[in-house]
Amino acid sequence: MCGIVGYIARKQNPNSLKLGIEALKRLEYRGYDSAGFAFWDESKKDIFCQKAAGRITALEEKANIAVNAVALSANPLILHTRWATHGGVSESNAHPHCDCQNNIYLVHNGIVENYKELKEVLQGEGHQFRSETDTEVIAHLVEKFFQGNLEEAVRKALPLIKGSYGIAVIAKNDPQKLVAARLSSPLLLGLGENEYFVASDPSAIIAHTNKVIYLDDNEIVTITPDNFSILKEKKPEEIEWKLEDAQKGGYPHFMLKEIMEEPEAIENSMKGRLLTEDGTARLGGLQDIVTRLRRAKRMLFTACGTAFYASLVGRYMFEEYAGIPVEADVASEFRYRKPIIDENTVLLCVSQSGETADTLAALKEMKMKGVLTVGVVNVVGSTIARETDAGVYNHIGPEMGVASTKAFISQLTVMALLTLLLGRQRNLSLVKGQRIAQDLQALPEKARIILTQEAKKIKEIAEKYYQYNNFIYLGRKYNYPIALEGALKLKEIAYPIHAEGYASGEMKHGPIALADQNFPFVFIAPQDSVYEKVVSNMEEVKARRAPIIAIATEGDERIKTIADDVIYIPKTSEMLTPILSVMPLHLFAYHMGVLRGNDVDKPRNLAKSVTVE
């Protein structure tokens, strides 16, 4: 993994390589450590390949002279950004990879689980390997079956692979084709004007076309300059968002832009869905399963990372206001459990990208067992969106920053909408439903207050604390998952700072041993049903002279007597406080990362969409 771009046109395009590199740059947000490209050069009747460790700019600089010489005939073309899994960060491990004869060139997202066995067999047959990667095995497998027809060779090679893949392949000895295929790794075909694109993410090609076909698992598409063929006929879909949605819009970083878009994310997630007078929600993607949802007696939530923390907040919401028992598990563990299920069990999968490998594996396992599956996904046409029985889109446009911010806010908002829908099906009263709906309606403006009135203070607090190396985040009930999320964001963005999130009541069972003047504690302490308990925990930390940062409800003067620094949020319903309380933590992490000199949009070792286990 991480990013794939492919291009083939009816006519020679003198800007094709530049076009491809610009498309690849739009995938930089996913995180990567090396890059490369390969293309058929008609003038030389050969494939030209260039790779470099580091950023795409390093690839451009390295290839500049050669590219200028051959760019007029770069057609077909494949490009890739790699995030290291098998083998270190090096030019030899970067994609594209080729076979022994320099005939087959291939880029790959995913993982070949049986690559060692395949490599041993291929080496026994005389194949020479040049990298430490699992991907190179695929190139040699295609070589093994190649007899002049690239598509047929790919078709024969892929069944031997165990694992996941999104691939794009070209061949010197079949130069008028670009072949692509997928299994559990996202890939789409873009339909332009006399040109075709392959990409792992629509953001790569949105500047050129919004007509796309999303490949399904085990599908292979063969593209020539004039046409394409696929295993089954599909109608193109339209990408909802525009190119400007995937640009910084004057902000120094995507992460800051997306934090500032959080109020809009709340609005877009609710638009046309919130029925304030009825105290409920209408979610079009669930209309066909409303009756089955009404019968649901138990729900299983599964997700990874930040999306899992949204699931934990949703668990509190569902149990308190919808009266439905909920279990929430990280997908990488859930997929190996054997949960007790029946016909009234529902699985809810939460994923921004809709391609998270572990979440997708859990989904497929539960579908096989006949469980009703529902998705909360941002990317239209993604695998989880297509595989679930029904679902809810976030509708917030692309999230380019690797560390999720506005998508998390949207996921919490959708959880609240689902709570209203399921709660009103059951015992949630009209009056209570109306009150929650009214508070939801007021959230965007309250969110804007945080990002305007408190933004300067948050930056000042970050300037005060950015040289500390350890933090503990603490919260209770609805804000316990927010403590986890706040700590995760700080780790992701402001490394090498170490941060942990805990339930406040657990502090006495270990973490309080760390409290001293060099170890800051961050408390999420809104005036809710557990406020007094949290204040007591704060007093215990203060007694040990540890610095305290508090997220508190506006007007709470008591907190000032305990905490060293206070960030205020407007008052709202208890179940909705996480949507507001997490926003200062996102902004705090952003400023801490910038002050630490980190690339907050592309934090080290991380990828936006984790498509391998």
Which residues participate in catalysis according to the annotation?
A: 2, 608
Answer whether 551's CB lies under 8 Å from 526's CB.
yes
- What is the C-alpha radius of gyration for the chain, rounded to an integer number of angstroms? 25
Contacts of 166 (CB under 8 A, 6+ apart): 4, 108, 109, 110, 180, 181, 182, 183, 185, 186, 187, 200, 611
In the chain, what is the greatest distance between 2 CA atoms, to the nearest angstrom?
78
**Residue 522, CA distances (Å) to 30, 276, 307, 344 in order:** 29, 35, 21, 40
Answer whether 350's CB lies under 8 Å from 307's CB.
yes
Using CA atoms, how far apart are residues 225 and 42, in angstroms rounded to an integer? 13
- What three-state secondary structure class fits 537? helix
What sign does the dihedral 178-40-186-611 (CA atoms) show? positive
Answer whether 86's CB lies under 8 Å from 66's CB.
no
Question: In the numeric block, which tokens belong to residue 565?
Answer: 């620094």
Question: In the numeric block, which tokens belong to residue 528?
Answer: 């809710």
Residue 373, H or E segment: strand 372-377
Classify residue 322 by its DSSP letter.
Answer: I
Using CA atoms, how far apart are residues 315 and 291, in angstroms rounded to an integer? 21
Among the listed residues 344, 270, 356, the one whose alpha carbon sits nearest the alpha carbon of residue 311:
356
Torsion angles phi and psi, residue 557, rounded to 5: -80, -25
Count of Cβ atoms closer than 10 Å to residue 151 Cβ: 18
Answer whether 503's CB lies under 8 Å from 482's CB.
no
**Residue 93, CA distances (Å) to 90, 122, 130 in order:** 5, 18, 8
**Residue 550, CA distances (Å) to 449, 472, 490, 511, 545 in order:** 17, 12, 16, 17, 15
**Residue 310, CA distances (Å) to 204, 336, 387, 416, 480 in order:** 28, 21, 21, 11, 11
Using CA atoms, how far apart are residues 173 and 128, in angstroms rounded to an integer? 19
